[in-house]
Amino acid sequence: MKIYRVNMTNLTFVEEEVPEEWKMLGGRGLTSAIVSKEVEPTCHPLGSKNKLVFAPGLLAGTMAGNSGRLSVGAKSPLTGGIKESNAGGTAAQRLAKLGVKALIVEGIPKGDKWYTLHIHKDGVEIKEENELLGKGNYEIIHTLTARYGENTGVITIGQAGEYKMSMANISVKDPKGHIRSAGRGGLGAVMGSKRIKFITLDDNDGAGITIQDKEKFKNAAQIFNKGLLSHPVSGNALPKYGTNVLMNILNEAGGLPTKNFRMGQFESAEKISGETMYDTIMSRKGDPTHGCHAGCIIRCSQTYNDKDNRYLTSGFEYETIWGFGAGCTVDDLDIIAHVDNICDDIGIDTIETAGSMMIAMEAGIVPWGDGHGIVKLLKDEIREGTYLGRILGNGASYAGQAFGITRIPTVKRQTMPAYDPRAVKGIGVTYATTPMGADHTAGYSVATNILKVGGHIDPLSKEGQVELSKNLQIATAAIDSAGLCVFTAFAIMDYEPVSHAVIDMINAQYGTNWTVNDWLNLGRSVLRMERNFNIEAGFSSKDDRLPEFFEEPVPPHNAIWDFSGEELDQVFEY
Amino acid sequence: MKIYRVNMTNLTFVEEEVPEEWKMLGGRGLTSAIVSKEVEPTCHPLGSKNKLVFAPGLLAGTMAGNSGRLSVGAKSPLTGGIKESNAGGTAAQRLAKLGVKALIVEGIPKGDKWYTLHIHKDGVEIKEENELLGKGNYEIIHTLTARYGENTGVITIGQAGEYKMSMANISVKDPKGHIRSAGRGGLGAVMGSKRIKFITLDDNDGAGITIQDKEKFKNAAQIFNKGLLSHPVSGNALPKYGTNVLMNILNEAGGLPTKNFRMGQFESAEKISGETMYDTIMSRKGDPTHGCHAGCIIRCSQTYNDKDNRYLTSGFEYETIWGFGAGCTVDDLDIIAHVDNICDDIGIDTIETAGSMMIAMEAGIVPWGDGHGIVKLLKDEIREGTYLGRILGNGASYAGQAFGITRIPTVKRQTMPAYDPRAVKGIGVTYATTPMGADHTAGYSVATNILKVGGHIDPLSKEGQVELSKNLQIATAAIDSAGLCVFTAFAIMDYEPVSHAVIDMINAQYGTNWTVNDWLNLGRSVLRMERNFNIEAGFSSKDDRLPEFFEEPVPPHNAIWDFSGEELDQVFEY
């Protein structure tokens, strides 16, 4: 394995050996290690001292199910802290097949030109790019597929990344030529600051990965894959309804944030639920289930068609549908699907965009419930980079300041996702304390609070939530480092043989003798590294808190956010 | 003396006794003490938990020269930390004459209505206001003078405060009916968040202040006043040329930040200098010297007329002329005067506005040197609260993010004033370390670095700068608490009898036995209080640093910013 390092200031490329300390890191563990080691924590995230790092996970390129997530890391222009965001698509496995453990992009070009990177077995070519500047992700992927063939991987930014908006994401072409995104934290702006419009990956004749004990790996992978498929969440609910299976569940639990976190239930939840979505997909000849990367066996993605049975969107997630739906009180799934498609094309994180739209509604720019108004803001303002587009394109905290709005549901300036922290207290602890800024995937306490995975902890009681969030944050950092989809966690948490299978796969591949605890220690060290980066960047414990408006009770349970700072800080005893 | 407390949530007023601990505080010392004690450091600056505090200084209402500054304090929407900003004008002395030691405004009204406060000897009346909403400060003062008579004091916000922009200031009517501003840190947005458009002050039949030993006070005041007038800076340079006497001096020293801090000299400095300004004022029948408040004997203000000898602006400061002039490479004093007038009318801090304009030029919205372009941005965008106006109206750091600009000359998100920190290193230490965010008035090391007041320390050498800034920050906090103009510091620093006269006046008024050191200890305790508030608000030592682009050498001396964090942190040993 090797490191590919690109310097955009000098437009140079070098191939490096993997240092000993990084050999047993991958995915988030590796991006966070590289950012921690090489990026000055106080640097400007869009300046020449920031670095953008892409890394497949420890198990990438193997037959382990759902092991093809690509981690992207940098100092975040949204939060100002360290950021890892991961996506499906076809890039991670291609990097693994090329034997590339990480791609590090540093520096900023002199002058005004834009570039692309082409990655192949002999290294990285840096080329000037003009044709696709100003274009959206769908056109880019379409054009590059025509230019280089179906089998070329693509990592790209839309217009938002070119504008260096803090909610710009990095998109990855998936097996169907659709879009997967490393959504959170504005990493697309970092790629834009380095003036790279897209990266193509050709894995022909790649050196590939080495597996020390193939037979052992195969056996473990079979146990792992079977475990994923036999768990009711990853084997049943997700493949059928996608992540939007959660809509009715959260509404029932009173934890569905409605109208910018004013209520915990949305009267029209049923209309935008996973069940309604499934029926709609089926009636319109869509595809209710497919994977976001080769080797995904959970297959929680889908193709959602419009009334005329034409493609509208895919990777249509619960958090997206929550944000533009319940969050903005829009009850029309077709409009939300259209919004999702536009977000993918412009290259903006749907959760942060939903946050901005809630602020636009607070400010009276469009009325509550006006899905067409959202479409207009996306197409005419954000995509065009107008002044209003730049206000909204920098996320909810930023937009709030423009209009003097104080009701802003963010932590570390990142918008909270689809679970009310007062009614699902475990996830509130994660929002407050993860180094990533409000992020459900960083320690998905919803699993245990609501889905009763890994036991059950009453979502409305404070008891046990800090410990729960801490353990899930550790496990998630470990899973992210393996390059596994976070939804493998359900089976890992509930079935002991599945967690052992992960360790067996790692040991079989690398010839190590890890225990489950070694793997979790990796998670712990990643969290400590990330938290330390944030402290060095200027964060304090005051940043590990929810905004003051969560003191308000949220119906129907009239739950309030009632954790003290001291209680929350116990998370950091990892 | 008494405290007037207004609660805008309930629209109620109470008069309170002054607690023992606040009796020997005034001005900044008192606003910072009240904010520290009563405002939750992590609260939203525009939310109901922030408080806006007005306080005259310890010597307000006496015959001490230049003792009529009004301190305004709150948590700043610009910096996120504690803020004190002070202004001349006629309000402080009226409050003193009413026996009001502080006016505390708390809460936020329900509903959408706007209000005014009318302050008189029996308390505060809260009235609804409609007529003057949306109006600028000049019209407000004109209308209120007509409505209530010449002798009514006015504290007001322009349109920017109504929009809750982070660079909105609070303006105070001066003896000529012109405008003085508590400029920095967005306190106008806090007043706007409480939906108070203006405050009027009627000091008729006020209880007044008590002076324990009138004879002793009179003698000390005479020494003090004489000292101010005999110092070459406050007795000579400032009355003649105003603060703009500094233009040629800083240009000569290579410390005049030009084109957003790219150079230390501006080729057209002479055209916008104090000398040119004086000649222009004289040739146009303006007034080269008057005071910003009754009892000001330094008289550094002036009336600057246009080509037709009509009023254009007053209180035309060096920092304003620097910012829109050298900072934006505009070489036309008439346009800069027009810009100053518009800023006063909209109610925006000229330094922060200049910072925003530099960013607008970096982003290519208007060309460098285009003064008319600045006028247009102020009138058509910021005054109108357009989307671009809201981007620019929230200050340079905010505007920078909108356009992905990384060259932003701010500390704690507040724009640096008119002295390059690389070429005048003492002021750089103050920018970095004052709890106020980049602010020259918080510890004016320029005095000793450039003007050779209080000794001389080479501006280009690191040696002695930390100690200098520390001592000046302490002295300034003490001076601000006395309610004295910061320009009294020149005589206080150079003439020992003048500093003793300050103490004698305080002792004569309050019957105390303070030494100079007791007064400086007050300054120390104010700084500690402020710094502690900021830490509790989430600041860390990483916030006490300059932006990374100051690593670039600045011509003509090719000086760089070369202080380590450890060196800077020694300031805090106050």
Q: What is the ipTM of this complex?
A: 0.96
Helix (H, G, I), strand (E, B) or coil at B506: helix
- Pick the residue of A43, A191, A382, A387 with the most B CBs within 10 A to test the interface with B by mutation: A387
CA-based nearest distance A548→chain B, Å: 7
- Residue B391 and residue A401: Cβ atoms within 8 Å? no
Q: Is residue B144 part of a domain?
A: yes
Cβ atoms A438, A410 nearer than 8 A: yes
Instruction: Tell me the chain A residues in contact with residue B542 when contact means C-beta distances shorter than 8 Å.
Output: 41-42, 536-538
Provide, as residue numbers in chain B, all residues whose Cβ is less than 8 Å from the Cβ of A536: 542
Torsional class of B134: left (φ above 0), alpha (ψ -120 to 50), beta (otherwise):
left
Q: Is residue B150 part of a domain?
A: yes
Q: Is A250 in contact with A273 (CB distance < 8 Å)?
A: no
Backbone phi, psi, residue B402, to 5°: -55, -35
Helix or strand or coil: residue A559? strand
How close does chain B come to A47, measured CA to CA in Å? 6
Q: Which residue out of B387, B392, B411, B543 would a mutagenesis test of the A interface target, given it has the greatest number of A Cβ atoms within 10 Å?
A: B387
Instruction: Please say whether the beta carbons of A482 and A58 come within 8 A.
Output: yes
CB A288 within 8 A of CB A263: no
- Write out pLDDT tens, residues B122-180: 999 999 999 999 999 999 999 999 999 999 999 999 999 999 999 999 999 999 999 99
Instruction: Report residue A490 as tokens.
Output: 């359900």
Whether the CB of A460 is below 8 Å from some CB of chain B: the reply is: no
B44:A406 CB<8 A:
yes
Check CB contact under 8 Å for A542 and B41: yes
Phi, then psi, of B404 in degrees rounded to 5:
65, 30
Tally of domains within chain B: 1
User: What are the start-end ranges of the E strands in A44-203?
Assistant: 51-56, 70-75, 82-87, 100-106, 115-120, 123-128, 153-156, 170-173, 179-182, 196-201
- Measured between CB atoms, does B363 come within 8 Å of chain A? no
pLDDT digits (tens, 9 = 90+) for A218-263: 999 999 999 999 999 999 999 999 999 999 999 999 999 999 999 9
**A402 close to B (CB below 8 A):** yes
Residue B248: inside a domain: no
In Å, how far is A572's CA from the nearest CA of chain B?
A: 17
| Bridge-based pairing state of the strands B100-106 and B2-7 | parallel
Q: Three-class SS string for B415-443?
A: ECCCCCCCCCHHHHHHHHHCCCCCCHHHC
Domain membership flag for residue A183: yes
DSSP state of B559: B
CA distance A125 to A107: 16
3-state secondary structure of B39: coil
Are A548 and B47 a contacting pair at CB < 8 A? Answer: yes
Confidence band, pLDDT 50/70/90 cuts, at residue A517:
very high
Q: What would the DSSP string read from start to end of B129-190?
A: --TTTT--HHHHHHHHHHHH-TT-EEEE--HHHHTT-TTB-EEEE-TTS-EEEE-TTSHHHH
Q: Are A512 and A59 in contact (CB under 8 A)?
A: no
Provide the domain limits for residue A40.
Answer: 2-201
Cβ contact (<8 Å) for B193 and A404?
A: yes
Q: Which two tokens stand for residue A551?
A: 């003191």
Instruction: For residue A382, list chain B residues with Cβ-Cβ distance below 8 A.
Output: none
Decide if A390 and B403 are in contact by the 8 Å CB cutoff: yes
Cβ-proximal residues to A271 (8 Å cutoff; 6+ apart), any chain: A331, A332, A333
Please state, in angstroms and rounded to a whole number, the distance separating the CA atoms of residues A382 and A350.
Answer: 13
Q: Output the pLDDT for position B246.
A: 98
Question: Which three-class secondary structure state does DSSP give residue A180?
Answer: strand
The angle that helices A465-482 and A516-537 make with each other, rounded to 10 degrees, is 100
CATH classification at residue A191: 3.60.9.10
Among candidates A454, A447, A485, which has minimal Cα distance to A297?
A485
| Residues whose CB is less than 8 angstroms from the CB of residue B37 and which lie 6 or more positions away in sequence, other chains included | none
Buried-state track B197-230, b at ≥16 Cβ within 10 A, e below 16: bbbbbbbeebeebebebeeebeebbebbbbbbbe
Residue B122: the pLDDT is 96
Nearest CA in chain B to A545: B42
The reply to whether residue A41 touches residue B542, judged by beta carbons under 8 angstroms, is: yes
B539·A540 Cβ contact <8 A: yes
How many angstroms separate the Cα of B558 from the Cα of each of B420, B549, B552? 12, 13, 8
**What average pLDDT does chain A have?**
97
| Cβ-defined contact of B394 to A402 (cutoff 8 Å) | yes
Encode pLDDT of B229-281 as tens digits.
Answer: 999 999 999 999 999 999 999 999 999 999 999 999 999 999 999 999 999 99
Task: Inform me whether the C-beta atom of residue B460 falls under 8 Å from chain A C-beta atoms.
Answer: no
Q: B49–A548: do the CB atoms touch at under 8 Å? A: yes
DSSP string, B44-103: -TTSTT-EEEEEE-TTTTSSSTT--PEEEEEE-TTTSSEEEEEE-SSHHHHHHHTTEEEE
Residue of B nearest to A363 (CA): B163
If pLDDT is split at 50, 70 and 90, which confidence band does A213 have? very high
Q: Which residue of A has its CA nearest to B78?
A: A401
Q: What's the confidence (pLDDT) of residue B31?
A: 98
Residue B185 near residue B102 (C-beta atoms within 8 A):
no
Interface contact A42-B166, CB threshold 8 A: no
The token duo for B160 is 């920017």
Q: Are strands B170-173 and B179-182 parallel, antiparallel or unpaired?
A: antiparallel
Task: Report yes or no: B97 and B206 within 8 Å, Cβ to Cβ.
Answer: yes
Contact B542 A42 (CB under 8 A): yes
* Overall average pLDDT of the B56-82 stretch: 97
pLDDT at residue B437, rounded to an integer: 98
**Whole-number pLDDT of residue B421:** 98
What CA–CA distance (Å, rounded) separates A5 from A106? Answer: 8
Average pLDDT over residues A436-448: 98
Query: Would residue B179 be called left, alpha or beta, if left means φ above 0 and alpha means ψ between -120 and 50 degrees?
Result: beta
Considering only the beta carbons, identify the residue of A43, A163, A402 that sits closest to B548. A43
Residue B102 lies in a domain: yes
CA-based nearest residue in chain A for residue B44: A406
Give me the total of CB pairs closer than 8 Å, taking one residue from chain A and one from chain B.
89
Q: Is residue B489 part of a domain?
A: no
The average pLDDT across B342-352 equals: 98
Instruction: Say how far apart CA B559 and CA B265 lie, in whole Å.
Output: 13
A190 to chain B: closest CA residue: B404
Residue in the block written with tokens 């712990």: A524
The token pair at A417 is: 């996702």
Chain B stretch 515-574, residues whose beta carbon is closer than 8 A to a beta carbon of chain A: 535-540, 542-543, 545, 547-548
- In angstroms, the separation between the Cα of residue A199 and the nearest Cα of chain B is 22
Within a domain: A197: yes
Residues 181-210 of A with CB under 8 A from B: 189, 192-193
Contact at 8 Å (CB) between B193 and A404?
Answer: yes
Distance, in Å, from the CA atom of B154 to the CA atom of B51, rounded to the nearest integer, reads 19
Residues of chain B with C-beta less than 8 angstroms from the C-beta of A49: 548
Flag if A542 and B538 touch (Cβ within 8 Å).
yes
A41/B contact by beta carbon, under 8 A:
yes
Q: State whether B387 and A406 contact (CB < 8 Å).
A: no
Assigned domain for A147 exists: yes
Q: Do B390 and A402 touch (CB under 8 A)?
A: yes
Lowest mean pLDDT among A249-258, B285-294, B438-447: B285-294
Strand, helix or coil at A247?
helix
On whether any CB of chain B is under 8 Å from the CB of A225, the answer is: no
Q: Which residues of B touch A41 (CB under 8 A)?
A: 542
Residue B73 pLDDT level (bands cut at 50, 70, 90)? very high
Closest residue of B to A108, CA-based?
A: B406
For chain B, say whether A386 makes contact (Cβ under 8 Å).
yes
**pLDDT (mean) for A34-48:** 98
Q: Do A543 and B548 touch (CB under 8 A)?
A: no
Query: Which residue of A41, A46, A49 is in closest CB contact with B404?
Result: A46
CB contact under 8 A, A406 and B537: no
Q: Please list, in sequence order, all residues whose beta carbon lies within 8 angstroms of the beta carbon of residue B30, skipping any fewer than 6 positions away.
A: B22, B53, B55, B71, B101, B102, B481
Tokens, residue A290: 């497919």
Task: Tell the residue number behind the tokens 């070489």, with chain if given.
Answer: B331
Per-residue pLDDT reduced to its tens digit, B173-226 = 999 999 999 999 999 999 999 999 999 999 999 999 999 999 999 999 999 999
- What pLDDT does residue A399 have? 98
Closest partner residue to A545 (CB to CB) among B42, B386, B401 is B42
Q: Which pLDDT does position B503 carry in this prediction? A: 98
| Tens digits of residue pLDDT in A271-310 | 999 999 999 999 999 999 999 999 999 999 999 999 999 9
Q: Which of A165, A404, A542 sits opposite B189 (nearest CB)?
A: A404
**What is the rounded distance in angstroms from the CA atom of residue A273 to the CA atom of residue A243?**
10
